[in-house]
Amino acid sequence: MLYDFPLQSRLLLGTAGYPSPDVLEQAIDASGTDIITVSLRREGVSGGEHFRELLKRTHKKILPNTASCFGVKEAVTTAHMAREVFETNWIKLEVIGHADTLQPNPFALVEAARILCEDGFQVFPYMTEDLVLAEKLLQVGCQVLMPWASPIGSGQGVRNIEGLRAMRAYFPDTPLIIDAGIGAPSQAAQVMEMGFDAVLLNTAVAKAVKPVQMAGAFKSAIEAGHMAYEAGLMPKRNMAHASTPAYGLASLF
């Protein structure tokens, strides 16, 4: 459940960078997603009315984002524009602090989240795996957190596995969505096995040789990872442990 929205699929899919609108539409369908993310700025320059019509045809929940915003005022203004265009209080809040890594600015992120939450937005903050930052975002009104696995579009997968495990442990009742850095279905399965609630993808699908097939692969991997988490993974051991006991066997000598 995300802000009272029942989550059927645990895959959220971005809509930027696909080779064609037709491929995007097919990938959305193959992914099984319920939620698609849209950058207001990219939509304004590359899609217009045709792109909005495509989004309507999918019948998916729209999660606008404030991609490419580097300050509080810029992010808040973009969020208000997105609310008017897409008629939703949902906003994926990005306030970038470092141009090379696209790491979020934690101070500006908290302030922008506070302003938007007070104005009735339901905020999905893109953040690092910082526990203090997570606490501050929850305090200002966020009910969902979106930590990165690694920098946006890098495909590196999880770079700080212990940090993400700590976040999951410290906030057991908060929906946590891995956002950014996932490049392969195996990496998506890994974070789902750790107990995260969902994964948001864009580049790994959009830039694949076969985006539609890759969308289906991620769908299966995320479902498998979640099923494995619920089933209970076996603990790791330092030594071998035979599945068949040695005692009670017949002596052949």
Could you give the residue numbers annotated as active site?
A: 92
153 is in an annotated binding site: yes
Closest to 102 in 3D by CA, of 143, 139, 156, 64: 156
181 is in an annotated binding site: yes
238 is in an annotated binding site: no
77 is in an annotated binding site: no
Q: What is the DSSP code string of the chain?
A: -BTTB--S-SEEEE-SS-S-HHHHHHHHHHHT-SEEEEEHHHHHHHTHHHHHHHHHHHTPEEEEE-TT--SHHHHHHHHHHHHHHH--SEEEE--B--TTT--B-HHHHHHHHHHHHHTT-EEEEEE-S-HHHHHHHHHTT---BEE-SSSTT-----S-HHHHHHHHHH-TTS-BEEES---SHHHHHHHHHTT-SEEEESHHHHTSSSHHHHHHHHHHHHHHHHHHHHH-PPPP-SS---SS-STTPPP--
Instruction: List, in sequence order, every residue forming a beta bridge with 198; answer none if it has no partner.
Output: 177
Please report, in range form, the residues annotated as the binding site for 1-deoxy-D-xylulose 5-phosphate.
153, 180-181, 202-203
